[in-house]
Structure 1
Amino acid sequence: MSTDLTGRGVVVTGAGRGIGAAYAKAFVAAGAKVVVNDLDAAAAESAARELGAFAVPGDASSEAGVAALVAAARDQLGEIEVFCANAGVARGGTEAVDERAWDVSWNVNVMAHVRASRLLVPEWLERGRGTFVATVSAAGLLSIPGAAPYAVTKHAALAFAEWLSMTYGDKGVRVHAVCPQGVRTDMLWGSGSAGRALMEPGAVDPDDVARDLLAAMDDGRFLVLPHPEVAEMYAGRAADPDRWLAGMRRMAAALPAVTMGTD
């Protein structure tokens, strides 16, 4: 099945750079009308200007921010037919990391998806058509040593995407969960020596992730794996959790601390 994006309204959060900017570029190239959202207003406006898209800067995680984004996007696009919940934060540390790191991670990586869906799903059900894209991470399928807030909230983001699909997939709402490993973005470069050791080998470009997303939309596939080997790791984890956990402990012991941001 082929997805015709010509004239369709698309919103991409966290689209000022990285994976989000690549999504926006790919959707514009496919003929869609695109809203570029980013907390960094200058980045959103620059990306939108370069692409011929609409810039709607702002916080795509808070309840008020999501409501403002959806309202502004509807003003620009008419209907929102594809929403890419791409904005994310990577916070490192153990269970002992401060409450703010957990709160920010939960709001940006999970509740932003819930809040957008709350506003969009009723309209999509009425129309019988809509697409929700969650940029998750291979960490949502597997995990990552040394970054408890990131690992836990990415698992939750995947669980919410699965829940949306199982609840509304037969009612016209299509859901895609994008789960790459290393992607050559600022998040990768800022993940510290341990993060780079885990993710930089085999890292792909953001444009590769966007290409794989559009292919999954054409195929109707829920799970988007720019690194196909992640599927084998995920299957191995399910088949023998104790063996998988032992391997993860060895990996964690061999790595320095992950130094993702904690602010």
Structure 2
Amino acid sequence: MPVRDKGVVVTGAGHGIGRALATRLAAEGARVVVNDLDGEAARRVAETIGGWAAPGDAATEQGVAALVETARGHLGDIDVWFGNAGIDQGRGLDADEAEWAASHEVNVMAHVRAARLLVPAWVERGAGRFVVTASAAGLLTTLGNPAYAVSKHACVAFAEWLSATYRHRGVVVQAICPQGVRTRMLDDAGPLRDLLSRDGALTPEDVAEATWQALHDDRFLVLPHPRVADYYAHRANDPDRWLGGMNKLQRQLEDQGAFR
């Protein structure tokens, strides 16, 4: 999919995967709006890539609406939306109500709210692309953080629904599902860092490259770590055996004192 002169929005683009996506797309000729809660980071990235900074909260109803309005003011039309912003909060059953609620708002409802504002116009013109940064946790699970695992499953589920519902109307939907990526989130993963990196911790630029390649064939699942496809198939083929393996990893982590 050529992006030259296309209007693109990337949320959570001040750091990590979002910054790498914005940088790669701008290098390919896209006109990029850079969104992030960290306004200084958004402005720095935008200046570096020749884009437009649109700081703000891309999760709330008002924040998404303001971002879409601002982006349309700069771009005219939004051709591609990268819902990349995400959070990792709470641990175990002790995760509190606020952490669960925040995970749902940022990792799920941000995508729902953006789609409400974007998809009708795309359907009318017969073209548009909606890309979410989910996680391998959204296809498998992750140990230690149920709020993250559940919300990323919901993120993938919403993307699946969106694709099934609108693909024949010209709306392409894709879900990026990496494992360990060298970002602040991996740095803060504590005892899970080694587990998340067992198939190699990629750079954000690696994820951006895998995504760029996936834009050309419209594949729904973008898997920067190819082994995730094998794990996903194994999980579907024999859920009990797969859960047994995950529980074994859980016990190993407990024995190492990771979850105390």
Match of 1:149 in 2: 147
Give the distance between the partners of 1:140 and 1:177, measured in 2 at CA.
10
CA-CA distance at 1:96 after TM superposition: 3.3
Using the TM superposition, name which of 196-205 and 6-15 deviates more: 196-205
Q: Secondary structure at the residue paired with 1:218? A: coil
- For 1:158 and 1:95, the matched residues in 2 are separated by 23
Mapping of residues 187-198 of structure 1, within 5 Å: 187-193=185-191, 195-198=192-195
User: Relative contact order, CA 8 A, sep 6+: which one is greater?
Assistant: 1
**8 A contact 1:192–1:258 mirrored in 2:** no
In 2: Cα distance, 1:51 partner to 1:19 partner:
15
Deviations 1:157-202 (A, max 9, x none): 0000000000001110001100000000011001112x20211340
* Cross-structure match for 2:164: 166
Q: Distance between the aligned counterparts of 1:91 and 1:155, measured in 2?
A: 15
Whether the 8 Å CA contact 1:41–1:58 is kept in 2: the answer is yes
Q: Contact 1:61/1:108 (CA < 8 Å) preserved in 2?
A: yes
2:132 corresponds to which letter in structure 1?
A
Q: How does 1:195-206 map to 2 (within 5 A)?
A: 195-201=192-198, 202-206=200-204
Q: CA deviation at 1:92?
A: 3.3
Write the mapping of 1:206-245 to structure 2, written as runs, cut at 5 A: 206-245=204-243
SS at match of 1:95: helix
2:54 paired with 1:46: no
8 Å CA contact 1:16, 1:36 repeated in 2: yes
Structure 2 equivalent of residue 138 of structure 1: 136
Within a 5 Å distance, the mapping from 1:25-174 to structure 2 comes to 25-174=23-172
C-alpha separation in 2, matches of 1:55 and 1:13: 10
Q: Which amino acid in the other structure matches residue 4 of structure 1?
A: P
**What is the identity percentage for the equivalent residue pairs of Structure 1 and Structure 2?**
57
Query: SS state of the match for residue 132, structure 1?
Result: strand
Runs of 4+ displaced beyond 6 Å: none
Consecutive unaligned residues of structure 1, counting only runs of 5 or more, are: none
Q: Cα deviation per residue 1:109-148 (whole Å; 9 max; x = unaligned)?
A: 0000000000000000011000000000000000011100
CA distance in 1, matches of 2:93, 2:58: 26
| CA distance in structure 1 between the aligned counterparts of 2:14 and 2:246, rounded to whole angstroms | 34
With 91-100 and 159-168 compared, the bigger mean Cα shift is at: 91-100
Q: How many residue pairs were aligned?
A: 256
The normalised TM-score by structure 2 is 0.96
Contact 2:90 2:96 in 1 (8 A): no
Query: C-alpha separation between the residues in 2 aligned to 1:43 and 1:213?
Result: 22
1:258 Cα shift?
Answer: 6.4
The SS at the match of 1:80 is: coil
- Kept after mapping to 2: 8 A contact 1:27/1:34: yes
Q: What TM-score, normalized by structure 1, do the two folds share?
A: 0.95
What is the DSSP-based 3-state SS (H/G/I as helix, E as strand, rest coil) of the residue aligned with 1:203? coil
CA distance in 2, matches of 1:204, 1:150: 20
8 Å CA contact retained: 1:140, 1:179: yes
The whole-number CA distance in structure 2 between the counterparts of 1:14 and 1:104 is 15
Moved more, 199-208 or 77-86: 199-208
Aligned counterpart, 1:247 = 245
RMSD: 1.1
